[in-house]
Amino acid sequence: MSANNLVKSQIEKISLALNTSDVNIMDELKFDVSTNVRRALAKNRNTPSRIINRLAFDPALNVSFMALQNRNCTEQRDLRECANHPCVSCTNSESSLNCNSCSKIKNFKY
């Protein structure tokens, strides 16, 4: 990733993750500390299988779920035990996603 991409805001990185076809940028974004950026990358149809397959086993359930839905994913992961978790099926846009204030998570019983 170029030095310019390293200083991008989260919103800019989310947009980049959703739209880039540059595999070098994707290789960097797959390690981003923001689950929103990784989730956006998992939704990008240009993301190659080797990156999508890694994201399919991301510790953040919403990242894994989105990666498993990507047509380039060749891995399988059973998320049925987590199916009721609100993060798994979250449909909110990454650019406005704020998990810390999500009422579904706050009200969810583990």
- pTM of the model as a whole: 0.83
**Spatial distance between the Cα atoms of 20 and 26, rounded to a whole number of angstroms:** 8
pLDDT in tens, 85-103: 888 778 888 888 777 888 8
Q: What is the mean pLDDT of residues 69-94?
A: 86
Is the sign of the CA dihedral 30, 36, 37, 39 positive or negative? positive
Look-up of token digits 């998320």: 79
Query: Which band of pLDDT confidence, cut at 50, 70 and 90, is reported for residue 1?
Result: very low
